[in-house]
Structure 1
Amino acid sequence: MDQRIQRHSYKGVTSQSFTGEAFSLDLSLWTVRIGNHVFDHCHMMLLVHSTQLHTIKSRGKNPEVEDLFIYGHHLRIGKGDEVLIGESMISTHLRRFDMQILAMLTMLIDHIGYIFFPEDIAWRYVGRIAFPIYCYGLVQGHIHTSSRPKYLFRLLIIAIIAQIPYNFAINPGGWNVVFTLLLSAIVLVILDKLPTLWLGIPVVIGAIALMDYFPIDYNAYGLLLVLIFRYTKSYWLVGAHLALNVFYMFYNFWTVQMLSIIPTLLIALTPALWGYLERHRVPRWVWWSFYPAHLLILGIFKGLIYNDWLSIEWRSLLNL
């Protein structure tokens, strides 16, 4: 199958031919990926011609909706979708929602084990898969969102809603992990506004101190992992995450956290395998409500089984 990609950008027009390779178009980033080759910053228009795909046309620099025409049939694709094109398959999916099911399932397993089977470490091993996926998803959301203030506001609302269920089910004297993600997202926004990342060092140090002072879930580890996903790629991503885990293995004795490198390995080094796992997505309301909802349900079962009902340790929350 002969495929020609014409790339239009503000700097001119380039084109290149490829034969017999499946490729993907990330419409929200204007990036064409063919094997290990990446072509990005295609701002104006992408036209792809093949035996299966006729045209993709844009409606502005960052359109909310793209038009995909396949053999004369019109398919509407939302912002952030990817078109995966092979010799016999065309499918679309939202990059930010790629790993939702895996993240939610492993987090649920982790919390069930923490609450009801604290002596069985196997539950916690499985649960280590979840947090890196959420960090990766946060970075993707930061990059792709059309409104960062609204994105931060949604995180704040979820963090507030989840706080009582979190105290109820997991830790009566701590702040839930959405606050960790929220603070990390705020740091990303600040860093993006600075002329150079070096000026962001005091910001990162201050955020680390804040997150280690208060009992926030994952503490500064969460922020550092988010920064790793934001600013490193490929082997550097894996190496940085591994170094972070090794440091915390000695600093906080988080031996079990070493297994969190697994999803990072898949994301960075085996995109084809990871793409196989990226087949399903859930409605947005399910994604945003799952964290507080599952904590509330687990907390109720915990209270019924152990007669251990809500008792928030306010002084601990403020580190008093």
Structure 2
Amino acid sequence: MLSQFQILNSYHLKILALTTMILDHVGAMFFPDFLPLRIIGRVAFILYAFMLVEGVNNTRNIKNYIQKIFIWALISEIPFDLAFYGKPFYFEHQNIFFTLLISILGLQFFQKSKSFFLSFIVGLVCLVVSYFFKFDYSWYGTSLIFAFYLFRKLNFFKFIFIETISTIATFNVLGVQFFAFLGFIPIFLYNGKQGKKIGKIYYSFYAIHLLIFALIKYVTNV
């Protein structure tokens, strides 16, 4: 019965993640007082977190996956700093790929470890690193990814659990973060299929669009 509503594949979710991310960044950089763009943008990270876990579960070589995330974290940092802070190096806030990187390292350990205690400690360390090094979305982003991984077999209940985390994080990240629940709608419609492959665009567009936005801000003196 539920399957008839699950009409979205991985390709659709990735396109939606890219689109909502762009709208969110347009709002953050050019129209900070126009909340609808930021509200729509809350969908982006929910989908990125979900698709990261999907990637970990389906990849044949997690080491290559980690290497890819690491490379894009390095490539994206200067565009991120230029776009948001107007300088090539800003160490008070790191781009989202570092959040994905520390999270996927934690997931790799979870896959291999048979010790709940060690997994708990490693997970906690990942949260502390995300917070201490000021990765984008901080501990909230990493805990969200962990939640998707740990509760992926609980179907409907995982959405309740993750939305609870999102609601709590409203007081720690962004006031509009409550609207992250909108991201659960396309996930609910996800059928688990891959669809078209857009891996290169999916990862590279983050750095590319930030460079473009940084250039626009520089030219227009926004």
Q: Same fold (TM over 0.5)?
A: yes
Question: Are 2:210 and 1:291 equivalent residues in the alignment?
Answer: no
1:286 Cα offset (Å): 1.4
Code of the residue aligned with 1:157 in structure 2: it is: I
Match of residue 73 from structure 2 = 159
Code of the residue aligned with 2:50 in structure 1: it is: Y
1:146 Cα offset (Å): 1.2
TM-score (norm 2): 0.87
Distance 1:206 1:280 in 2: 35
Q: Percent identity over the alignment?
A: 27
More strand by share: 1
TM-score (norm 1): 0.61
Code of the residue aligned with 2:133 in structure 1: it is: F
Distance 2:205 2:173 in 1: 29
2:150 to 215, 218, 231: 231
Q: Is the 8 A contact 2:21 2:44 kept in 1?
A: yes
1:180 Cα offset (Å): 0.2
Gaps of 5+ in 1: 1-34, 38-83, 85-90, 308-320
Match of residue 116 from structure 1 = 30
Q: Is the 8 A contact 2:11 2:198 kept in 1?
A: no
> Secondary structure of the equivalent of 1:170?
helix
1:303 to 207, 215, 218: 218
Distance 1:177 1:230 in 2: 18
Distance 1:157 1:214 in 2: 18
- Structure 1 segments of 4+ aligned residues over 4 angstroms from their partners: none
1:220 to 122, 128, 139: 139
Question: Are 2:53 and 1:139 equivalent residues in the alignment?
Answer: yes
1:249 to 156, 170, 180: 170
Match of residue 203 from structure 1 = 122
Superposition RMSD in Å: 2.4
Distance 1:249 1:170 in 2: 21
1:97 Cα offset (Å): 3.2
Distance 2:115 2:206 in 1: 35
> Secondary structure of the equivalent of 2:32?
coil
1:284 Cα offset (Å): 2.7
Distance 2:70 2:209 in 1: 18
1:163 Cα offset (Å): 0.5
Instruction: Give the 5 Å matches for 1:70-149.
Output: 96-149=10-63
Q: Is the 8 A contact 2:72 2:204 kept in 1?
A: yes
1:108 Cα offset (Å): 0.3
Code of the residue aligned with 1:248 in structure 2: it is: A
Distance 1:110 1:121 in 2: 9
Distance 1:123 1:282 in 2: 27
Larger RCO: 1 or 2 (CA < 8 Å, sep 6+): 2
* Change in CA separation of 1:102 and 1:108 when aligned onto 2, cut-off 3 Å: same
1:96 Cα offset (Å): 4.1
Distance 1:178 1:288 in 2: 9
Distance 1:143 1:267 in 2: 16
Distance 2:120 2:202 in 1: 32
Q: Between Structure 1 and Structure 2, whose CA radius of gyration is higher? A: 1
* Change in CA separation of 1:36 and 1:121 when aligned onto 2, cut-off 3 Å: closer
More helix by share: 2
Gaps of 5+ in 2: none
Code of the residue aligned with 1:217 in structure 2: it is: D
**208-217 vs 179-188, which moves further:** 208-217
> Secondary structure of the equivalent of 1:238?
helix
Distance 1:236 1:197 in 2: 21
Q: Is the 8 A contact 2:42 2:183 kept in 1?
A: no
